[in-house]
């Protein structure tokens, strides 16, 4: 869980490489730096209240809420359209991630014995190294989806696509298919118009020439 949380936290740097600042027009001034810093404001302020809630509630409930919260906010970060939306998502990302580190640390300490917990703590802290090592490679692969379904690559870096985009057909294919359809639709009418018709009488029976 902490590996995913740390990966979402540092993913904004990879998203910036794929055009986040250019599309949101935050290249001037310190707007991008402010989006980075605003994450740590709730992360520091709400850490003690998060520990209080952790003791009031069960860790499995509180950690599940935190994980669902930062996963949802990270997905919403891929749909922001302006600077204010980016700041809002980064702020709430810090709110939900503030309980992950102390909560997971507390859960390991309460669940395992002292000699058993050391190995778990080592795996726990190594998750940050793994997130930094493979986060860039993962973002580089996902960023190649740039332009797919009309979205920039940085949006796919923050939002993992769960459903394939709606397939788009080329214009020449559409033109050929429409021309085929029009030719098929026009062929019965042309055949019916070109087929000879015999004159009819007033009662509807075919008119025959009287023998002379």
Query: In the prediction, which pLDDT does 160 show?
Result: 58
User: How large is the average pLDDT for residues 96-110?
Assistant: 84
- 35 — pLDDT class (breaks 50, 70, 90): very high
The pLDDT score that the predictor gives to residue 177 is 41
Chain mean pLDDT for the chain:
75
Does 147 or 173 have the greater pLDDT score? 147
- pLDDT above 60 for 198: no
Highest mean pLDDT among 31-40, 93-102, 115-124: 31-40
The domain ranges of the chain are 2-158
Which string of DSSP letters, residue by residue, matches the chain? Answer: -HHHHHHHHHHHHHHHHTTHHHHHT--STTHHHHHHHTTHHHHHHTHHHHHHHHHHS-HHHHHHHHHHHHHHHHHHHTT--SHHHHHHHHHHHHHHHTTHHHHHHHHHHHHS-HHHHHHHHHHHHHHHHHHHHHHHHHHHHHGGGTTGGG--HHHHHHS---SPPPP---HHHHHHHHHHHHHHHHHHHHHHHHS----B-TTSSBP-PPP-
| Average pLDDT score over residue span 102-122 | 84
For 59-74, how does the pLDDT look when each residue is reduced to its tens digit (9 = 90+)?
888 888 988 998 899 8
- Poorest-pLDDT segment among 10-14, 22-26, 162-166: 162-166
Asked whether the predicted pLDDT for residue 190 surpasses 80, the reply is no
Domain 2-158 has CATH 1.20.1250.20: yes
What's the rounded Cα separation, in Å, for the pair 172 and 20? 33
Burial class from Cβ neighbours inside 10 Å (0-12, 13-18, 19+) for residue 96 reads buried
Question: Confidence band (pLDDT; 50, 70, 90) for 212?
Answer: very low
């Amino acid at each position: 869980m902490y590996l995913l949380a740390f990966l979402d936290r540092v993913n904004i740097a990879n998203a910036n490489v794929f055009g986040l600042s250019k599309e949101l027009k935050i290249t001037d001034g310190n707007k991008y730096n402010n989006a980075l810093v605003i994450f740590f404001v709730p992360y520091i302020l709400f850490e003690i209240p998060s520990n209080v809630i952790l003791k009031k509630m069960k860790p499995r409930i509180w950690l599940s809420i935190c994980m669902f919260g930062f996963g949802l906010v990270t997905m919403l970060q891929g749909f922001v359209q302006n600077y204010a939306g980016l700041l809002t998502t980064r702020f709430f990302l810090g709110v939900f991630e503030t309980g992950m580190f102390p909560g997971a640390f507390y859960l390991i300490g309460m669940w395992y014995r002292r000699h058993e917990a050391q190995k778990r703590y080592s795996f726990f802290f190594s998750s940050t190294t793994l997130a930094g090592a493979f986060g860039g490679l993962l973002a580089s692969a996902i960023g190649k989806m740039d332009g797919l379904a009309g979205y920039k690559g940085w949006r796919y870096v923050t939002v993992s696509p769960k459903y394939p985009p709606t397939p788009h057909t080329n214009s020449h294919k559409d033109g050929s298919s429409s021309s085929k359809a029009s030719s098929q639709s026009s062929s019965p009418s042309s055949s019916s118009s070109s087929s000879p018709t015999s004159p009819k009488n007033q009662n509807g029976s075919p008119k025959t020439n009287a023998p002379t």
